[in-house]
């Protein structure tokens, strides 16, 4: 059963979204149906912009330069250095829509969006991360013109926007 079928679901989601507005960047698209993505980023991986440049994380303390994780990994392996990763990082994500979705379609939306986040966070969803995404719907709108795949595409792009804006230095940043 979708969260939207539960008594008080709309109030719960509204309250949750409003509380997140104070902590992370709000992102919503005004295409029918309503769609919002909220992300708190404390990733092990570096944050990449849409051109593939590292904009947060993986900063060399000596030079101040940010390097792509693969580039650094290849150089360290070539020098024979041991590769270790810290523990305790996580990215928490919430996708909220009012599009009517069956439970299996809602799960697939969550998979599609969470998988797409690997474009912006590299590496993503490692064995040392606690990355999680929740997808919820209020089941209020039935827009037959919007396929589940298209909804996932819109939500995935919104997730990348939210990741980029989640930290300091970004025009939309809230960190």
Per-residue tokens: 85: 């990763």
Task: Give the domain range for residue 133.
Answer: 3-164
**86 lies in a domain?**
yes
**49 lies in a domain?**
yes
**174 lies in a domain?**
no
Identify the CATH number of the domain in which residue 39 sits: 3.60.70.12
**16 lies in a domain?**
yes
**149 lies in a domain?**
yes
pTM here is: 0.78
Report the C-alpha gap between 165 and 151 in whole angstroms. Answer: 21
**101 lies in a domain?**
yes
What pLDDT tens digit does each residue of the chain (175 aa) get?
Answer: 344 455 665 566 556 555 554 445 545 555 567 888 888 888 888 999 999 999 988 888 899 999 898 888 898 899 999 887 777 788 889 999 999 999 999 999 999 999 999 999 998 988 888 889 999 998 988 999 999 999 999 999 999 988 988 866 655 544 4
Q: Return the active site residues.
A: 90
Token look-up 């991360």 returns: 129
**169 lies in a domain?**
no
- Nearest of 10, 5, 25, 14 to residue 163 by alpha carbon: 25
- Number of domains the chain is built from: 1
**46 lies in a domain?**
yes
In this structure, are residues 110 and 37 in contact, taking their beta carbons and an 8 Å threshold? no
Token look-up 């305790």 returns: 88
């Amino acid at each position: 059963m979708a969260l939207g079928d539960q008594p008080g679901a709309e109030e719960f989601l509204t309250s949750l979204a409003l509380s997140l507005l104070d902590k992370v960047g709000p992102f919503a698209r005004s295409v029918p149906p309503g769609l919002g993505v909220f992300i708190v980023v404390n990733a092990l991986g570096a944050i990449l912009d849409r051109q593939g440049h590292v904009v947060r994380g993986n900063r060399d303390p000596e030079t101040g330069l940010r390097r792509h994780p693969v580039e650094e990994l290849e150089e360290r392996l070539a020098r024979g250095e041991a590769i270790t990763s810290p523990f305790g990082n996580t990215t928490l994500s919430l996708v909220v829509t009012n599009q009517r979705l069956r439970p299996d379609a809602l799960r697939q939306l969550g998979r599609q969006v969470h998988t797409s986040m690997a474009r912006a966070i590299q590496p993503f969803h490692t064995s040392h991360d606690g990355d999680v995404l929740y997808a919820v719907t209020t089941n209020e709108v039935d827009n037959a013109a919007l396929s589940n795949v298209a909804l996932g595409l819109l939500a995935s792009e919104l997730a990348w926007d939210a990741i980029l804006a989640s930290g300091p230095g970004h025009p939309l940043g809230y960190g």
